[in-house]
Structure 1
Amino acid sequence: MPTVRDAVYEVLRRHGLTTLFANPGSTEIAFLAGLPDDFRFVLALHEASVVGMATGFALARDRPALVNLHTTAGLGNAVGALATARVNRSPLVVIVGQQDRRHLLLEPFLTGRLRGLAGEYPVWHCEPARPQDVPSAVARAVHEASTARGPALVVVPSGDWAEELPAGAEVAAPALVHRPAGARHAVPPALAAMLRDAAAPALVTGAGASDPECWRALVALAERLGAPVWQESFGARAGFPQDHPLFAGHLPASRGRLRAALGAYDVVVVVGAPVFRQYPYETGPLIPPGTRAALITDDPDEAHRGPVEIAVLAKPAAVVRELTALLPARPSTGGVRPVPPAVPAPAPGAPLRPPWVLAELGRRLPADVVLVEETPSSRPDLHALIPARTPLGFVSAAMGGLGFGLPAALGLRLGDPGRPVVAVLGDGSSMYSIQALWSAAHYRIGALLIVLANGRYAIMDRLAERAGGKPAWPAFTELNISGMAASMGCPHARAATAAELTAALDEVIPGLRERREPLLLEVVVEPDPEFDPITQQATSRKPSRESDSPP
Structure 2
Amino acid sequence: MTTVKEAAFDVLRRHGLTTIFSNPGSTEVSLLTGLPDDLRFVLALHEGSVVGMATGWAIGRDAPALALLHTTAGLGNAVGAIATARAGRVPLVILVGQQDRRHLALEPFLAGRLGGLAGDYPVWADQPVRAQDVPGALARACHEAATSRGPALVVVPMDDWAAEFDGEIMAAPKRLLRLAAVADHELAPLVELLAGARSPAIVTGAGADWASLVSLAERLACPVFQESFGGRAGFPQDHPQYAGVLPADRTRLRTVLGAYDVVLTVGAPVFRQYPYVPGPLVPPGTFVALVTADPAEAHRSPADLAFLAPPAAVCARLAALLPARSGAPVTPWEVPAVLEPPAGGRPLRAAHVLRELARRLPADAALIEETPSSRPDLHRLVPARNPLGFVSAAMGGLGFAVPAAVGLRLALPDRPVVAVVGDGSALYGLHALWSAAHYRVGALFVVLANGRYAVMDRLADKQGGKAPWPPFTEVDMGGLARSLGCPARRVDTYDELTAVLDEVLPSLSAREEPLLLDVTVTVDPDFQP
Q: 1:461 aligns with which of 448, 457, 464?
A: 457
Asked if 2 retains the 8 angstrom alpha-carbon contact of 1:225 and 1:332, the reply is no
Amino acid of the structure 2 residue aligned with 1:259? R
Asked if 1 retains the 8 angstrom alpha-carbon contact of 2:222 and 2:330, the reply is no
Cα shift at 1:332: 5.3
Instruction: Report 1:35-434 matches (<5 A).
Output: 182-185=181-184, 187-209=186-208, 214-331=209-326, 333-342=328-337, 343-434=339-430
Structure 1 residues 480 and 391, CA gap change in structure 2 (3 angstroms): same
Cα shift at 1:183: 3.6
Structure 1 residues 181 and 519, CA gap change in structure 2 (3 angstroms): closer
Q: Which has the larger radius of gyration?
A: 1
Cα shift at 1:185: 3.1
What TM-score, normalized to structure 2? 0.65
Cα shift at 1:313: 0.6
Distance in 2 (CA, whole Å) between partners of 1:445 and 1:354 is 25
Which residue in the other structure is 1:143 paired with?
none
Cα shift at 1:381: 0.2
Distance in 1 (CA, whole Å) between partners of 2:411 and 2:186 is 35
Residue 222 of structure 1 aligns to a residue whose secondary structure is helix
Asked if 2 retains the 8 angstrom alpha-carbon contact of 1:462 and 1:529, the reply is no
Cα shift at 1:310: 1.1
Structure 1 stretches of 4+ with a deviation exceeding 4 A read: none
Asked if 2 retains the 8 angstrom alpha-carbon contact of 1:249 and 1:337, the reply is no
Asked if 1 retains the 8 angstrom alpha-carbon contact of 2:180 and 2:310, the reply is no
Residue 306 of structure 2 aligns to a residue whose secondary structure is strand
Residue 513 of structure 1 aligns to a residue whose secondary structure is helix
Amino acid of the structure 1 residue aligned with 2:449? A
Asked if 2 retains the 8 angstrom alpha-carbon contact of 1:187 and 1:319, the reply is no
Residue deviations 1:502-531 (CA, integer Å, cap 9, x gap)? 111010000001111100001001112211
Cα shift at 1:198: 0.5
Which sections of structure 2, spanning at least 5 residues, go unmatched? 1-115, 125-147, 149-178
Q: Does 1:484 align with 2:480?
A: yes
Distance in 1 (CA, whole Å) between partners of 2:253 and 2:371 is 23
Distance in 1 (CA, whole Å) between partners of 2:180 and 2:249 is 36
Residue deviations 1:459-497 (CA, integer Å, cap 9, x gap)? 110110011112110000000000011111111111001
Distance in 1 (CA, whole Å) between partners of 2:271 and 2:222 is 19
Distance in 1 (CA, whole Å) between partners of 2:302 and 2:380 is 29
Distance in 2 (CA, whole Å) between partners of 1:389 and 1:489 is 32
% same residue? 64
Cα shift at 1:187: 4.2
Cα shift at 1:368: 0.9
Cα shift at 1:323: 1.1
Q: Does 1:495 align with 2:491?
A: yes
Residue deviations 1:17-49 (CA, integer Å, cap 9, x gap)? xxxxxxxxxxxxxxxxxxxxxxxxxxxxxxxxx
Residue 531 of structure 1 aligns to a residue whose secondary structure is coil
Which sections of structure 1, spanning at least 5 residues, go unmatched? 1-115, 125-147, 149-179, 534-551
Structure 1 residues 186 and 428, CA gap change in structure 2 (3 angstroms): farther
Instruction: Report 1:16-27 matches (<5 A).
Output: none
Amino acid of the structure 2 residue aligned with 1:449? F
Distance in 2 (CA, whole Å) between partners of 1:185 and 1:349 is 60
Distance in 2 (CA, whole Å) between partners of 1:418 and 1:381 is 28
Asked if 1 retains the 8 angstrom alpha-carbon contact of 2:346 and 2:492, the reply is no
Amino acid of the structure 1 residue aligned with 2:207? G
Distance in 1 (CA, whole Å) between partners of 2:362 and 2:273 is 32
Residue 425 of structure 1 aligns to a residue whose secondary structure is strand
Q: Indicate the structure whose relative CO is greater, using CA pairs within 8 Å and at least 6 residues apart.
A: 2
